[in-house]
A and B are shown apart, each in its own frame.
Chain A
Amino acid sequence: MQRRDFIRLSLAGAAVLMMPTRILASQEHTASIPPILILIELEGGNDGLNTVVPYSDERYTALRPSLAIDASQVLEIDNAIGLHPALSGLHERWQEGTLAIVEGVGYPQPNRSHFRSKDIWNTASNSDEYLSDGWAGNALGTRQNPGPFADSVTMANDDTAPFAHPQMRNIVLRSAESYLNAAGMIAPVPNAEDNDALAHITAVQNVIVDSYDYLETAMRSNSAVPHAFGPGVLDQKCSSLVELLANGVYVPAFKLSHGSYDTHSNQASTHESLLSELDGALAILVQNLKALGLWQQTVIMTYSEFGRRAAENGSAGTDHGTAAVQFVLGGSVNGGLYGQRPSLSHLDENGDLVHTTDFRSMYRTVIEKWWQIPTEYLSGFETLGFL
């Protein structure tokens, strides 16, 4: 028996908590720049047909009575296809020769569930195969000489599944500043082993501890983002990313998501604003990479769990489809068209495009030709010439 304390949470008892500041280890900052990939997820299933428009194909206008983009509007790529009018920045990259357009990207026996198809894209699995490691995590988590700080950075709230791997050090943050403000109070803990949930928590906690000093030292150089971004959500994610790069914080992979591209109804206006946000943010991102001298060192790649049905639905939208076009851009990218254009007259039994390029070819190209990491598990897929 013992007298016990009176324990109660109350606003009146609120006290501002002082965050302990860590003693900072001075750290040698080496500026070796790894090949950087910025992965942009077009979440929800981007409509490839209205992104890179087959404007001269009369079947396109027949399939899309209310959604077809008029030939006079598109930003011409060649006499058959053109970019959605909102993609003027990407069109400049095309003219500059730093934009690769990969057509018909997908996989056999396509799955039209967002979640299952994301799993497939994230893990580079076959349609009927369930894997747990992410495709990028698989490559980066097993590198011979992992760099300092971390293997990847994902912007807060975006899906981290491409980086899933037991040895992967993935940092999720909103901005370097907010991360450091909170990370200073975190102490190392012994890694838990026999309890998966606890092991995950202790691993994440120790990644925070290990990243703190490096990031804190780097951010002290206090270099600003050369070209300011707008206030949009995607813009702000890009801004946080560029801020890291400006201060010499390099990891082989950054990831951010944009969306939702799940345009089941009234697609035209939604899709236009999405593409225009994407194009606007990409344009400033490229400007910044050029200003920082990182344009040659960076590849930006888009992906999306699927494209959308060739024919529009009754709600002036499109339902879940299969193959779609993806973009790759960067100073070292060989601009041009890759893959084959899916035919609009040979749709599958669901009325969807039949894929011509396996998405794992894009992954293998990046892993081998960009990161220079051997990929045995993707050897069944050819590399593409965009790098």
Chain B
Amino acid sequence: MKPSTFTTFVSVADSPDLGLKRHLLSRTHFGFDLQTLEARSNMGYDACVEQILEGTRDDTLLPLPDILNENLLRRDKSPMDDEERQRRRATLRQARASLKVWWVRQMLTAPSQLREKMTLFWHNHFVSAVQKVRSPLLMARQNMLFRNEAVGNFRRLLESIVRDPAMLVYLDNISNTKNSPNENLGRELLELFTLGEGNYTEDDVKAAARALTGYSVNRTDGTFRFDVRQHDFGEKSFLGQKGNFDAEAIVRIILEQDATAVFIVRKLWREFISDTPDEEEVQRLAALFRSGDYEIRPLLKKILLSDAFKAAPNRLIKSPVELLVGLARMFDADTVLAEKIAQGCRILGQTLFDPPNVKGWPGYTAWIDTQSLLRRRQALAKAAGMLSHTEMEPEPELLETLELWLLGTDPLSEIPTTSVGAAIKAMTEDPVFELK
């Protein structure tokens, strides 16, 4: 990243719809410097949306940490001595930490910020946590699945997730067998991943669990394994259909339901627009999503171009990742800060690769309680203390531009005009800065 050595700025008065474009950037990026905003000053809004969506075709990826190439899977059951066990544990711990820092670094530098945000969105939708999965390698592979389909196709994503080793471990499907089904994955597949609560019965959960029996993981290389002996080939009755369903059939039936597209669109609404989805509009977008065979990019385009989107700036609350990665990106932070940012995200309640439970981070107002607000302000104050060369006195026009860039609207607190640094510090500590 290059430092912001700019010498000119666009005045807000010269670009009347800059505020709307700022809103678009703040929802589709983890954070952006002033130049990124200024570069849009002469573009139309629709062209900005198009540019961001086309940008998602860039899949530039930082190489995964080398430590993931080490033998992180237990290949045999031979007993380990204490020293070997400790060495293994240390390697695993280090690999988990490196993976988290790797993702922060990727977020800091990803050319397509939207693709990166959607990768995080799917991580928080199809939740698995390394604390239970143990293996950072399986988590890294799952992350690759999320980023490959981040703005791709929801059907493919769903087809892959029921065969994803990290998921099969996380939701106990490796012990879901013909003679003793385990409902964990079957239930969450319906409740949290697709249909949503209220759109299926307990019998459907049991049928889904039976269809998923035998979907397991190879101990030797951590790949998907279909265990024929443990799969229940019997007839099942699922959402009104009867057949010898396996997981693929269950996924097909799930995608035939209206409820699935509605559930996903509603969740995307809460991610991109506001916490109060317009149900009529959700139904309309969901119908288009389904008839478009669950292609994600066109759906995002409709969302970003919608009147509802344009009408809702600063109605959402930044997640810790958005707050800290965003701050670093706004001020061209060194990527060496990635480690600190990963730690900061954990302290603020969002440990990457480790959501608190299968429902993921609840988001919105749940990000802010007395404890987390204090931690956020501490982090922001610390960051403001790291800003360099900001002693000059700003002219009113520059202050106005800084406010548009950092807050998008008037601050609630008094902003000092003694220096650019003091003004920026006060803006980042204003309650409005917590919004996106």
A residues contacting B by CB (< 8 A) are 1-17, 19, 111-116, 154, 156-157, 160, 170-174, 179, 182-183, 185-187, 189-190, 192, 195-198, 200-202, 204-205, 207-208, 211, 260, 264-265, 313-315, 317, 319-320, 350
Question: Are the CB atoms of B179 and A9 closer together than 8 Å?
Answer: no
Given contacts A172-B369, A265-B182, contact A2 B9 (CB under 8 A): yes
A265: which B residues are within 8 A, CB to CB? 172, 175, 182
Question: Are the CB atoms of A8 and B377 closer together than 8 Å?
Answer: no
Question: Are the CB atoms of B412 and A9 closer together than 8 Å?
Answer: no
Roughly how many angstroms separate A160 CA and B357 CA in the complex, as a whole number? 16
A202: which B residues are within 8 A, CB to CB? 412, 431
What is the distance, in angstroms, from A27's C-beta to the closest C-beta of chain B?
19
Question: Are the CB atoms of B388 and A13 closer together than 8 Å?
Answer: yes
Question: Are the CB atoms of A15 and B385 closer together than 8 Å?
Answer: yes
The list of the 9 closest CB pairs from A to B, nearest first, reads: A314-B180, A13-B388, A182-B374, A9-B333, A315-B175, A172-B369, A172-B371, A9-B331, A17-B385
Given contacts A9-B332, A319-B183, contact A205 B175 (CB under 8 A): no
Question: Are the CB atoms of A6 and B4 closer together than 8 Å?
Answer: yes
Question: Are the CB atoms of B336 and A3 closer together than 8 Å?
Answer: no
Interface string of B110-145 (1 = CB under 8 A from A): 000000000000000000000000000000000000
Question: Are the CB atoms of A11 and B9 closer together than 8 Å?
Answer: no
B interface size (C-beta, 8 A): 77
A7: which B residues are within 8 A, CB to CB? 4, 331-332, 387-390, 420, 424
Given contacts A7-B424, A204-B370, contact A17 B202 (CB under 8 A): no
Pick from A154, A157, A192, A315 the residue with the most CB of B within 10 Å: A315
Q: Which of A16, A197, A204, A264 is the one whose CB lies under 8 Å from B184?
A: A264
Given contacts A2-B9, A189-B413, contact A114 B359 (CB under 8 A): yes
A173: which B residues are within 8 A, CB to CB? 370-371
Given contacts A10-B388, A204-B368, contact A315 B202 (CB under 8 A): no
Question: Are the CB atoms of A204 and B386 closer together than 8 Å?
Answer: no
Stretch of B218-226, B253-261, B313-321 on the interface side: B313-321
B392 at the A/B interface (Cβ < 8 Å)? yes
B382: which A residues are within 8 A, CB to CB? 17
Q: Which of A6, A19, A179, A208 is the one whose CB lies under 8 Å from B5?
A: A6
Question: Are the CB atoms of A6 and B334 closer together than 8 Å?
Answer: no
Question: Are the CB atoms of B373 and A10 closer together than 8 Å?
Answer: no
What is the distance, in angstroms, from A64's C-beta to the closest C-beta of chain B?
13
B residues contacting A by CB (< 8 A) are 3-9, 172, 175-177, 179-184, 187, 191-192, 197, 202, 205, 275, 314-317, 327-328, 331-334, 336-337, 349, 356-359, 364-365, 368-375, 377-378, 381-390, 392, 394-395, 397-398, 412-413, 420-421, 424, 431-432, 434-435
Roughly how many angstroms separate A380 CA and B248 CA in the complex, as a whole number? 47
Given contacts A11-B337, A172-B370, A195-B314, contact A112 B187 (CB under 8 A): yes
A-B contacts besides A16-B385, A320-B183, 20 pairs, CB < 8 Å: A4-B6, A4-B8, A4-B9, A8-B332, A8-B388, A10-B333, A11-B336, A15-B385, A115-B192, A115-B197, A173-B371, A182-B378, A185-B377, A197-B315, A204-B370, A205-B431, A264-B182, A313-B182, A315-B175, A315-B176
What is the distance, in angstroms, from A117's C-beta to the closest C-beta of chain B?
10
Question: Are the CB atoms of A8 and B434 closer together than 8 Å?
Answer: no
Q: Would you list 23 pairs from A and B whose C-beta atoms are within 8 A, ordered by A residue?
A: A2-B8, A2-B395, A7-B389, A8-B331, A8-B332, A9-B331, A9-B332, A9-B386, A13-B386, A114-B358, A114-B359, A115-B192, A170-B370, A173-B371, A179-B371, A183-B374, A186-B377, A189-B412, A197-B365, A200-B317, A201-B317, A201-B373, A211-B370
What is the distance, in angstroms, from A121's C-beta to the closest C-beta of chain B?
15
Question: Are the CB atoms of A314 and B369 closer together than 8 Å?
Answer: no
What is the distance, in angstroms, from B423's C-beta to the closest C-beta of chain A?
10
A314: which B residues are within 8 A, CB to CB? 175, 177, 179-182
Question: Are the CB atoms of B412 and A197 closer together than 8 Å?
Answer: no
A208: which B residues are within 8 A, CB to CB? 370, 373-374
B387: which A residues are within 8 A, CB to CB? 7-9, 13
What is the distance, in angstroms, from A241's C-beta to the closest C-beta of chain B?
14
* A118, closest chain B residue (CB): B359
Roughly how many angstroms separate A239 CA and B435 CA in the complex, as a whole number? 34
A204: which B residues are within 8 A, CB to CB? 368-370, 373
* B369, closest chain A residue (CB): A172
Roughly how many angstroms separate A156 CA and B370 CA in the complex, as a whole number? 9
Given contacts A5-B392, A320-B183, contact A11 B317 (CB under 8 A): no
Given contacts A5-B389, A201-B431, contact A315 B172 (CB under 8 A): yes
* A3, closest chain B residue (CB): B7
Question: Are the CB atoms of A198 and B314 closer together than 8 Å?
Answer: yes
B181: which A residues are within 8 A, CB to CB? 313-314
Question: Are the CB atoms of B3 and A179 closer together than 8 Å?
Answer: no
What is the distance, in angstroms, from B384's C-beta to the closest C-beta of chain A?
7
* A189, closest chain B residue (CB): B412
Question: Are the CB atoms of B328 and A9 closer together than 8 Å?
Answer: yes
Roughly how many angstroms separate A209 CA and B431 CA in the complex, as a whole number? 14
* A309, closest chain B residue (CB): B183
